[in-house]
Structure formats: C-alpha cells, structure tokens
Amino acid sequence: MTHNTEYAIEVDNLTKRYGDLVAVNDISFTVRTGELFALLGPNGAGKTTTVEIIDTIRTPTSGKVTLLGMDVTKGKQAIVNRIGVLPQGFNSFDRITVRETLQYFSRLYSRRNSDIDSLIELVKLEDKAREQYRNLSGGLKQRLGIAIALVNDPEVVFLDEPTTGLDPRARREVWDVLHGLKQKGKTVFLTTHYMEEAELLADTVAIISKGTLIAKGTPAELIETTANFMVLTLQSVDGNVIEIIAQMGFKPVISNDNAIKTRVQHTDDVQKILSAIKDAGAFYQSLDVRKPNLEEVFLKLTGEALHDSHADGRGTT
Ligand SMILES: Nc1ncnc2c1ncn2[C@@H]1O[C@H](COP(=O)(O)OP(=O)(O)OP(=O)(O)O)[C@@H](O)[C@H]1O
Ligand SMILES: [Mg+2]
C-alpha cells in the first residue's frame, strides 16, 4: 500500500466520548516516521484513550486516524502485524521465564524465527532470561513488556507510561532501551506524565490536558515559544527575602528544598532583586538563573501542576 511515508500517524479531529464525558476533544496531530513522539499529560488527560484509538484497540467517536497509511477503524488486522503495544499497567504470566514469555508471544505472531536473543539483548535482560516474571523488579518487568511489544519487529511501537512508578535508576534504564529503539529506526509513540522524560527523549512533544491538545513542538520550541521568562532561584536564604521580593511585585514561591524561586522577565529584574536583598541586610548562599523547563511550560499553559500523582499504587514499583 502506498501512503505518505513522511508520517507514520495522522490524527485528524479525533474525539472520544464515554457517555457525557468527552475524554478526547477534537485533537489533531501527526507523528513523523522514525521519530519519538511523547504525548504528555496528567492523570485522566486522555492519553490512553488516544493511544488505544491509534493502535486500533478502541474506536473513535468521530474524526479520522491513519496509521501507516491505513484507516485504524478498517485495516485492524493488517495494522496489528506492523505495530507493537505496551499497555499501561502491563502484566504477564507470573511463573513463566523471560525467555519463555518472549517465545510464547512470538509464536502468537507466528514468528517462529524471531530472534529472541537479540530482543533480550535489546532490553538488557541477558542475566534474567531464566528468571520467572514474578521475580523481576518493576523496571525489569517493563523492559520485558517492551520486548514483548517488539516480537513482531513492528514499525511503530506504542508505550503507554512505561516508566510510571519506577525509581529514578530503573527509569533511566528504560530510557536507554527507548534510545535503542530510536536507533533501530522504530517510530515510538510514548505517553508519560514525566516532563523530564519527554524533554530528554522526545523529538516532538504534544501536551494534552482534559482531552484537549494544548501545545505541540520540539521540547526546545515549546520552551522558547511558551515560556518567555527566566527562573531565579536563591538557595539558603536568611532574613525576609521572600517578603522583599514579593513587595517588589514578583511572585516568589518556596520550593521543596527550601529554595526561593521567582519568575523574572529580564536580567535587570535579577539585578534589582539582588540589590534589594542586599540593601535590606538579608542573605542568600547561592543563586541560579535559568530558562524554564517543560514542567514550567506545562504549568504556564494549564495552571495545573503535572506531578507524580501516580503515587497511588497503580504503577509498578
Ligand atoms: N472505558 C472507559 N469508559 C469510561 N470512561 C473512561 C474509559 N476510559 C477512560 N475513561 C475516562 O476518560 C478520561 C481519560 O482517561 P484516559 O485513561 O484516557 O486518561 P490518561 O491520560 O491515560 O490518564 P492516566 O495518566 O491516569 O493513565 C478519564 O476521565 C477516564 O476516567
Ligand atoms: Mg493512561
């Protein structure tokens, strides 16, 4: 089948309703072939609904979704042979080893000659090949899940929150695997609610909030166009620094580590704040002025924090 190979995925005016709830509200975007695309948003934003419509599992209420040139509501059988899916909250057979699991899933796709060793190597589970699923840590389980999504050597891989609930080290190890997928030329569609992950891995980020796509671009573009401010951070402050800054008309906040953070528009503002602190005889140990990250872009766009509210036990640990 010939199609515009520039785009692996084309989503046009996609809407999904569950009764009165509009879970996905008229969203449109494209995913280029070979890119790592991150759909980023907080709990309940509509990420899984969107992914599972694109990967043929759910049906759209309206709109058109094309995957590898095929209409996802029509060419399901042809499509599933060419894609891989890691569902959110993935689980597998408890007492089956890593190797047996991959052999089994590969048989389901009639890929008798799947190169299981290469798959195991790709997700760095060489030392765990004989381990039963139930004995793997959360990060290793997710890596096995990614390997399962790859047994049919898919062109497009969908990974729904592959790192949620993992500790920072396990998360980094999954990121390494995702880098590997990109290097193999796969198109990767990732959902996440970790800004850092999207910023680090994605070629393109689309931010979804309450079913609506509110921004799209490279991480750098999003930061450049949306967040035209800088963040001044003052560490180890002494005296009424926060009041001094607030009195000048800024909106300082105290972060978790007791630093004071303030948005400023110009470097002149930094000068003014520092002078005012000095004049008042207050004190700080160190300072830092930097461009905002995607987290701050999200905050600015939605007024919502995008935080790890998944600490509700849903994720793997
Ligand atoms: N099958 C369903 N039936 C009814 N409502 C649903 C169904 N699936 C999702 N929803 C609702 O649709 C909205 C979007 O859910 P969805 O799972 O797509 O969000 P999400 O961004 O993946 O969230 P999370 O980060 O928690 O996984 C939520 O309000 C959810 O409760
Ligand atoms: Mg989800």
Q: What is the pLDDT of residue 316?
A: 32
- pTM assigned to the model: 0.83
Q: What is the pLDDT of residue 105?
A: 93
Q: What architecture is the 228-290 domain classified under in CATH?
A: 2-Layer Sandwich (3.30)
Amino acid at the residue 17: R
CA of 44 to the centre of ligand 2 (A): 7
Using DSSP's 3-state secondary structure scheme, residue 242 falls into helix
Q: What is the pLDDT of residue 6?
A: 94
| Cβ of 18 less than 6 Å from ligand 1 | yes
Write down the domain spans for the chain.
7-224, 228-290
Nearest CA to ligand 1 atom 9: 49
Q: Which of 68-77 are b and which e, b meaning 16 or more Cβ less than 10 Å from the residue's Cβ?
A: bbbebeebee
What's the pLDDT tens digit per position in 37-90?
999 998 999 999 999 999 999 999 999 999 999 999 998 999 999 999 999 999
What's the pLDDT tens digit per position in 288-297?
998 878 887 8
Mutate to test the pocket of ligand 1, among 16, 21, 58, 298 (most ligand atoms within 8 A of CB): 21
Which atom of ligand 1 lies nearest, measured to the CA of 42?
25
CA of 52 to the centre of ligand 2 (A): 10
CA of 47 to the centre of ligand 2 (A): 5
Q: How far apart are CA 125 and CA 236, in angstroms?
A: 44
Beta bridge partners of 288: 233
- The closest ligand to the CA of 41 turns out to be 1
Q: What is the pLDDT of residue 302?
A: 76
E-only strand ranges, 193-295:
204-209, 212-217, 230-235, 253-254, 260-264, 286-290
Q: Which fold has domain 7-224?
A: Rossmann fold (3.40.50)
Q: What is the pLDDT of residue 117?
A: 95
CA of 186 to the centre of ligand 2 (A): 22
pLDDT by residue for the chain (317 residues), tens only, comes to 456 689 999 999 999 999 999 999 999 999 999 999 999 998 999 999 999 999 999 999 999 999 999 999 998 999 999 999 999 999 999 999 999 999 999 998 876 667 899 999 999 999 999 999 999 999 999 999 999 999 999 999 999 999 998 999 999 999 999 999 999 999 999 999 888 899 899 999 999 999 999 999 998 888 887 777 888 999 988 878 999 999 999 999 888 788 899 989 888 999 999 999 999 998 899 999 988 788 878 877 877 655 543 333 333 33
CA of 49 to the centre of ligand 1 (A): 6
